[in-house]
Structure 1
Amino acid sequence: MAVQAINDGIFCIDIQHPDRKMFDCIMPTEHGTTYNAYVVKGQTKSALIDTADPDFTKEFMDSVDRCEVNVIDYIIILHTEQDHSGSLPVLMKKFPRAQIVATEAVAKLMLTHLHIATDKFMIVNEGDQIELGGRSLTFFKIPFAHWPDNTMVYESSTRTLFSSDLFGSHYSSDKLFATNSHEIKVAARAYYAEIMMPFATQVRKYTEKVIEMAPSIIATAHGPIWNQPSVILQKYMRWTSDQVEKTVVVPYVSMHGSSAVIAERLCLRLASKGVSVLSRNLGKKPDSLVVQSGLVMRDLVTAAAVVYVLPTVLGGPHPAGSYCAMLMNAMRVKTPFIGLLGSYGWGSRASTIFAEMTSGLKKAERLSDVQFEGLPTEDQLAEVDKYADDLAAKIMQLGDRLI
């Protein structure tokens, strides 16, 4: 399904990569991904928006041929990352007279990442237009959604917005349009968590701008196209707000069962207080760490609290939990409450080290850490009950922040 018409004169080249299991070596992609490029035909000129990952250059070039475009007048690069620009060198050889169009930010990064000289580019600025004959393309800068160079292009006659990485999903499918698919919305949330969430403030501004533009179609760089833009726009407005759900995420690791006992007691007590709980075992299987950490990030898009339950290893938190906590710190989650419970063999600096690893989350309230030596007794588990009760009460006091 490499080439499909979106509407009259606009075609999507969606290169499918269904068996890609990881993105950027940190993000699990259960459903693979796509690399989307677009051909826009006017009465007098044609433009190609973005290319494809270099591993798929041949398939991409074959797809360009199937668009039945004899001449490409403009090759527009919205974002430097190689999954969007990697086929450009080959494309430039096939269409040597095409003008390469990009913002200055893209052109500078293309020099360092693909070694394409900046004098090869036609530089466009905010609001600039390219006329194709009967239709035009307008450029909008969206820095840090998610790189400093990301750009959007709007085709006004069909109200089609080419949004680059913004509003995307890692989801390989034979369906061109996302419509209102629950599964695709879940994939879009995971994508937001590890790509857009660190820049939520900027992303919210861009989302508001797009709502004002009122596009009929949002054509993303990854995943199915949004032919009902309100679906993803409403989600982004919620995800980028400070609102949270009555949910506690519990990432845990247990080497010999002690931490598992604590995690189970915590989850049961929270549930009894009317709080939803999502527990994630970071060490259950060899591939659990990355997969479950990815799920934790997705959970934390709207969770009210996260409580890690970890054993101590060589004085610090278990490395699997440390990885997840450091990733959480990098993703700048909005979770109001953060805590650590755990067990240790004979001594621990886990609390101090955990605080250092999550020091970037300055808006979050730090719950009192609780550490037990060895297998917790029933009296100690009663402390876990109180911990859960206190946390549930704090969540209920969030007021207007609760969804």
Structure 2
Amino acid sequence: MLSNLRSPYLALPGVHALPSHLPLGELGLLPVNAYLVQGSEPVLVDTGMAIDRGAFEEALWSLVDPRDLRWIVLTHDDRDHAGNLKEVLMAAPNATVIANGLAVSRLGEEWDVPAHRVRTVNPGRTLHLGDRSFTVIRPPSYDSPSTIAVYEHGNRALFSADSFGTVLEDMADNANEVNEQDYLTGMSLFTRANAPWTALADQSKWDSALAEVRGLGPSTVLSSHGPTATGRTQHLLETVRGVPSADPWLPEEDIEVEAVLDRYETQPLPD
């Protein structure tokens, strides 16, 4: 397998992104990020994709000694977020996983995470991890019921899981490197595609979910599926606010079912 992992970059003071991407055909490229938060007790947010196995661990351990990694915040159990969890835990003897309890149960479909190495949390909890403090929230959009996001108070940074993700034509480390219209259009598309239930969302309830993010006042949004976005939170909120009223999105089909049936019905029967 060829890894799509790129070189880590400094997203914020003390925060490194470990960036990769997933091709989505004609739609473009979906960023897939994990983040390492340095501090007295280093925190890894997500563990990347299995296709990046080997390269992901090499990049991670170039930034932190495995024995020093203390926490792994798993935003949810999807393979693009938990793809290297087992390998990281095996290499980092002092690391403990922080996740929603449902995520831990779902991980058990493939691998039982040792119970003594897990702490389960729900939205509303504030965690003091060494010299860093994180508040756990439910992000506005998600594709897994186990999803959590975390707000890091020191940098005023929201690690938003799938929320505020976007599809890009070319990879970029910073949102300022991307045409703004393309960036926001890709965000609307990704949100509708990744969370199709948003087409059924009550607008007032959707607005309440966005208000929780606005109330935290993040200066930077670090999406698992987007470039670093500093000073753009209001634009991001305005973009995704319109998602429930936008047309639902579905991928193109490989065949036109009606045309195939018509051809079948008009073919002469064999003798």
TM range (shorter): 0.7 to 0.9
**1:230 is matched with which residue: 228, 231, 234?**
234
CA distances 1:299-333 after superposition (whole Å, capped 9, x unpaired): xxxxxxxxxx9966547xx9xxxxxxxxxxxxxxx
Deviates more, 1:71-80 or 1:112-121: 112-121
Contact 2:35-2:46 within 8 A present in 1 as well: yes
Match of 2:213 in 1: 210
The within-5 A match list for 1:4-403 is 4-17=9-22, 20-21=23-24, 28=25, 30-42=27-39, 44-69=40-65, 71-142=68-139, 145-171=142-168, 173-179=170-176, 181-200=180-199, 201=201, 204-227=207-230, 228-240=232-244, 242=245, 289=253, 314=261
* Structure 1: distance between partners of 2:185 and 2:140: 25
Contact 1:111-1:118 within 8 A present in 2 as well: no
Any idea what SS the aligned residue of 1:164 has?
coil
* Structure 2: distance between partners of 1:89 and 1:127: 27
- Residue 238 of structure 1 deviates from its aligned partner by 1.6
CA distances 1:59-90 after superposition (whole Å, capped 9, x unpaired): 21111123244511001111100111010011
Q: How many residues align?
A: 252
Q: Considering only CA atoms, is the larger Rg found in Structure 1 or Structure 2?
A: 1
Any idea what SS the aligned residue of 1:112 has?
coil
* Structure 1: distance between partners of 2:140 and 2:115: 19
Any idea what SS the aligned residue of 2:158 has?
strand
Bigger strand fraction: 1
* Structure 1: distance between partners of 2:238 and 2:132: 29
- Residue 167 of structure 1 deviates from its aligned partner by 1.1
| TM-score normalized by the length of structure 2 | 0.80
* Structure 2: distance between partners of 1:217 and 1:143: 16
* Structure 2: distance between partners of 1:14 and 1:87: 14
CA distances 1:225-244 after superposition (whole Å, capped 9, x unpaired): 2221222211111223x478
| TM-score normalized by the length of structure 1 | 0.56
Deviates more, 1:146-155 or 1:32-41: 32-41
**2:7 is matched with which residue: 2, 11, 14?**
2
Aligned alpha-carbon RMSD (Å): 3.2
Q: Which runs of 5+ in 1 are unaligned?
A: 22-27, 252-281, 283-287, 294-308, 319-343, 346-403
* Structure 2: distance between partners of 1:66 and 1:98: 17
Q: Which has the higher contact order (CA 8 A, sep 6+)?
A: 2
Change (3 A) 1:12 1:312: closer
Contact 1:111-1:117 within 8 A present in 2 as well: no
* Structure 2: distance between partners of 1:3 and 1:29: 26
Change (3 A) 1:236 1:133: same
